[in-house]
Chain A
Amino acid sequence: MSEKIPVQIDDITCEVERGTTILQACKCAGLRVPTLCHHPDLEVAGICRICVVEVEGMSGLQAACAYPIRQPIKVRTNSPRVRRARRVNLDLILSEHYGDCYTCVRNGTCELQELAREYGVDRYRYPSTTTPKFKIDRSTAIVRDQNKCISCKRCIRTCIDLQQVSALETANRGHNVLIQTAFDKPISDVVCINCGQCINRCPTGALRSNMPNELLWHAIDDPEKHVIIQTAPSPRAAIGEEFGYEPGTSVTKKLNAALRRLGFDNVFDTNFAADLTIMEEGTELLTRLKKVLVDGDSSVKVPMFTSCSPGWVKYIEHYYPEYLDHLSSCKSPQQMFGAILKTYYAKKVGIDPEKMVVVALMPCVAKKFECNRPEMSDSGHKDVDFGLTTREMAVMIKEAGIHLKDMPDEDFDHPLGLGSGAGLIFGATGGVMEAAIRSVYEIVTGRPVPFKGLDVMPVRGMEGIRDATLTIENPLPEYQWLDGVTLKVAVAHGTANARILMEKLKAGKLAYHFIEVMACPGGCLGGGGQPIPTSPEIRAARARAIYSEDHQLVLRKSHENPEINQLYAEFLGEPLGHLSHKLLHTHYTPRGRFFLEGL
């Protein structure tokens, strides 16, 4: 056990481990110290000076978030000095922050607004900013409004340290400091991968997603349009947080009812498309392995990387374009679903695909960019019209006056509404891998995976990089070539971890057959479109919700999904078949390492 140090905070005495910050110690003591630049996922900055406290023996006030306790100390968190400093620093920030609360998407979830409320701010102490200084910058996915920036650098620490994308920078000095994109280029021109993690961590409305709500209402209100929504597992495990549920409450069935009342003509389950992805991707993996292991075909690349995460796809397009051949050619479940809806489903139910509007409820900001990629129209139409984030959907539900908690439980529409537990766990880091293993192993050997309750535990968890091996024994006759082969797989979440993995691969230090990468920490459940706030605890709760839902399902393997089998029988033929190739697979674009194109 590490050394315990006694600490006195106000009139509370407690013991903390050496190195605990004053802020953490205050939490242990049940005291709340206000913060602004602090975020549990990020490196300490200690720059907003809101969390300052008195430490006996130190001449100035100390930032509680940045002060590691290394000897017994006495702390005061509520003295006149402390209150005055916090209030003045808050007033300084407020005077520079331009924008009215009631026209801001973060109204009600803004941490600055919350602080102003707590401190009873009723006027500007210093002359306030009355005109905007910056133009609003938007890409298909992200909107940046520097007028609302308070220079807390959470986005910088997210983009540079947490995600290692480095699309953002701190420029200039002194009062001219700007938090901006690299070289102040439009956000659509820099190496932004649209992961939206900066949005999740921005305390104000300086960063937000590009909301399609108005356009979507138009479509819903248009009687000519047939508006279909598919919902991904992660929003279902998180949207409850927007309606007063504890994190980790899955509200799938209530959400179905709410979406129907909102006006969606069909409500489908993205897990269905996740199962389809497993069929395609699993087959692709086996095909690649055979070509490499048996045929010695050097044009085929392993390890194969998953391609469900559009943030990861863009990351590799920017930073590791030489590895694009390693990316599975499979579209993401969202895009596969869109392509199937506007072909198979449209024909089946006799709707003109031109009048069909496909919406995807996603935990993800990058999905907006993905559905707008020019190559994503293999159905002959734009496969998916709108990528809607969890937060944006919560706004629509509230706007429609729907009380989520009062909704009855309703099921998805069918066909295309049945998803397996394997598709469901796509929402958590390691989920795609686990789903693939469940199916691939069984397809190859005819036996279920040798893990208790089908839970492939080695690929689960929140460690940044995890790996596992699985030896194939006694395969079915057509897979004899895999007999005795030990499959090596790895899982990474957060692009910083992906980078570590990629650098090791580049250096030839690792050998894997299959790698799952999710751009966001925690996987989709930690996506950039998920409810704010986010923290390791909240993400863990969402993961528990997803895994427990998987356990409650009877159908837990993608290849056993009867609706998938029906789709292949009626329409697609077989995985990787001609039609699959046309509709469900895609290609990638090498992009600049420094800017969007070139250089």
Chain B
Amino acid sequence: MKNEKKKILFGEFVTGAGLVRALEMGPGKVVAEVKASNLKGRGGAGFPTGLKWELTAKQESDEKFIICNADEGEPGTFKDRLLLMEQAEKVLEGMAIAGFAIGARQGFIYLRGEYVYLKKSLEDAIASMINRRFLGQNINKTDFSFEVEVRLGAGAYVCGEEFALISSMNGYRGEPRNKPPYPSEVGFRDKPTVVNNVETLCYVPYIVTKGAEWFKEHGTQASTGTKLFSVSGDVKHPGVYELELGITVNQLLAEVGGEGAKSVQVGGASGLNVAEKDFDKSICFEGLPPGGSIMVFNHQRDMLHVLKNFMEFFVEESCGQCTPCREGNYRLLEGVRMLEKGECSVRYLKELEALCDVMKDSSKCGLGQTAPNAFLSIVENFKTEILYR
């Protein structure tokens, strides 16, 4: 780990510089630069942003769209709320650059219903950007025009999944659909669409102005850049931290005043529960899931209670389409209730662990594929505490 603490998003920023530079570079070079930076999606799935743009840029279509995924619903995550509140211009600039790169003239911010109070300030930021010709018609006096509209969600975690988000925006139930085709081919209004996380878009102006090489100086080889971490639970200083990818759990705990933790939930409810023995592991795309949610639990916490809370969440938030997610999460919650009453045999617990594997293997979307993570890791870490009550 490097000694000095490097920040990107919490560093200096001049609105419009990245956009102006991008307009000079041309779409091809912008895509190439973002691709070279190895920036990966900050929503959690970690798909290479440059590749996503390249695939969409290649599509022939009269219309293309950029959607900023502001449906931040992962339990324990609030970094996008902070960015939308304090760095809205950066988000918008990232969207405009993305739009320029792929040939889109229209962008949307899909804002979760819970953040409705941010709508006004976002629309003010859009207006202010239009005034300065960083958005709207003929941006910076070029041929490039780009509009942004805020669309509200209405309380559905699964809409953070990009296919579900597109279904929702298309006026349907927010149910993920089959892939391929990918949104880069068939997205909003069935047109090629890029869906990027709020935080991902925020790095874009920096990469364009300072270059891919500079960006890669942060983080690890496979996980370049910094990452915002939303820290909550039993810590002295909860909040949003910008840290380099590759940081270990121990280092992170030291940073936030979370020493002496019993376990840390890394990556939210859909992430992994990490026990003390694994606190030396690092958080990055090749390690512990870097979704950005860090929930710390001290030794007084009942881990079965924590697990129950997560399972209740998934039972309710599953879209309910596919069998493993709709029924599997329900069976896991039922299992937790059996454990609470001491009615779950070791053999049945094994059955439920096998169910978890099948959910990961055969669910239709990321929600069902990651929902069993908490169950598996908490049961593994705290089997004695959970089984023999």
User: Residue A566 at the B interface, CB < 8 A?
Assistant: no
User: Which A residues touch B329, using CB under 8 A?
Assistant: 174-175
Contact B178 A49 (CB under 8 A): no
User: Which B residues touch A172, using CB under 8 A?
Assistant: 320
User: Which B residues touch A89, using CB under 8 A?
Assistant: 323-324, 358, 362
Q: Which of B173, B323, B328, B355 has the most CB of A within 10 A?
A: B323
User: Which A residues touch B363, using CB under 8 A?
Assistant: 49, 60
- A47-B321 in contact given A63-B178, A174-B329 (Cβ < 8 Å): yes
Of the candidates B315, B316, B323, the one whose C-beta lies within 8 Å of that of A93 is B323
Distance, CA A85 to CA B320, complexed state (A):
18
- A49-B173 in contact given A60-B361, A174-B315 (Cβ < 8 Å): no
User: Residue B122 at the A interface, CB < 8 A?
Assistant: no
User: Which B residues touch A46, using CB under 8 A?
Assistant: 178, 322, 364
User: Residue A61 at the B interface, CB < 8 A?
Assistant: yes
A44 to B, closest residue via Cβ: B178
A169 to B, closest residue via Cβ: B173
Q: Which of A67, A151, A172, A174 has the most CB of B within 10 A?
A: A174
Contact B156 A125 (CB under 8 A): no
Contact A175 B178 (CB under 8 A): no
Interface 1/0 per residue, A6-39 and B, CB below 8 Å = 0000000000000000000000000000000000
User: Which A residues touch B322, using CB under 8 A?
Assistant: 46-49
B360 to A, closest residue via Cβ: A60
- A174-B331 in contact given A46-B178, A61-B361 (Cβ < 8 Å): no
User: Which A residues touch B180, using CB under 8 A?
Assistant: 67-68, 70
Of the candidates B323, B334, B360, the one whose C-beta lies within 8 Å of that of A127 is B334
Q: In residues 28-75 of chain A, which contact B (Cβ within 8 Å)? A: 44-50, 52, 60-61, 63, 66-68, 70
Contact A92 B364 (CB under 8 A): no
Contact B318 A174 (CB under 8 A): yes
User: Which A residues touch B324, using CB under 8 A?
Assistant: 49, 85, 88-89, 92
- A175-B320 in contact given A46-B178, A68-B180, A92-B327 (Cβ < 8 Å): yes
Q: How far is the CB of A339 from chain B (nearest CB, A)?
A: 47
Contact A81 B321 (CB under 8 A): no
Interface 1/0 per residue, B276-316 and A, CB below 8 Å = 00000000000000000000000000000000000000111
Of the candidates A47, A88, A175, the one whose C-beta lies within 8 Å of that of B354 is A88
User: Residue A84 at the B interface, CB < 8 A?
Assistant: yes
- A92-B360 in contact given A47-B321, A175-B318, A175-B320 (Cβ < 8 Å): no
Contact A81 B351 (CB under 8 A): no
Q: Which A residues lie at the B interface, using CB under 8 A?
A: 44-50, 52, 60-61, 63, 66-68, 70, 81, 84-85, 88-89, 92-93, 95-96, 125-127, 151, 153, 170, 172-177
4 smallest beta-carbon distances between A and B, as pairs: A177-B320, A66-B178, A92-B327, A88-B358
CB<8 Å pairs between A and B, sample of 21: A48-B322, A49-B322, A49-B323, A52-B362, A66-B178, A70-B180, A89-B324, A92-B327, A96-B327, A126-B351, A127-B334, A153-B321, A172-B320, A173-B173, A173-B318, A174-B314, A175-B315, A175-B318, A175-B320, A175-B327, A177-B320
